[in-house]
Amino acid sequence: MIIHVTREGAVELRERDDFKNFKIAVERPAASHDFITGALQGVAALEPDGKTAWVKGDALRSWQGRAQPPEWVASFDKMVESVRRFGWVREDGAVRAHVEVKS
């Protein structure tokens, strides 16, 4: 699953059924921390290092105001549980994602 940030700052959910590859991909080359933070508002909180972010589980379960199908939610919850033991899930349910910025 890829949370894709376009050059313009729009956020799209791509490869939504791939629960093995979870990341944020930023299309704008050398995007600033402020640009990424603004684009991800309401979806994820970017860490100060700019390399990771905490994605709100509820934002994914109801992507852009549209509830995901129950099967999708079950698969997402299974993914979240599988990474919890690594410390990649906070108490508020946010999930850690790697951030890749196009160079």
DSSP SS3 for 24: strand
Total residue length of the chain? 103
Q: Where would I find the beta strands (DSSP E) of the chain?
A: 2-5, 11-14, 23-26, 44-46, 52-55, 62-63, 66-67, 95-101
- Residues of the chain where predicted confidence (pLDDT) is lower than 70: none
DSSP SS3 for 41: coil
The predicted pLDDT at position 64 comes to 87
CA distances from 37 to 15, 30, 40, 41, 45 (A): 22, 14, 5, 6, 7
Tokens of 42: 């309401």
The predicted pLDDT at position 34 comes to 97
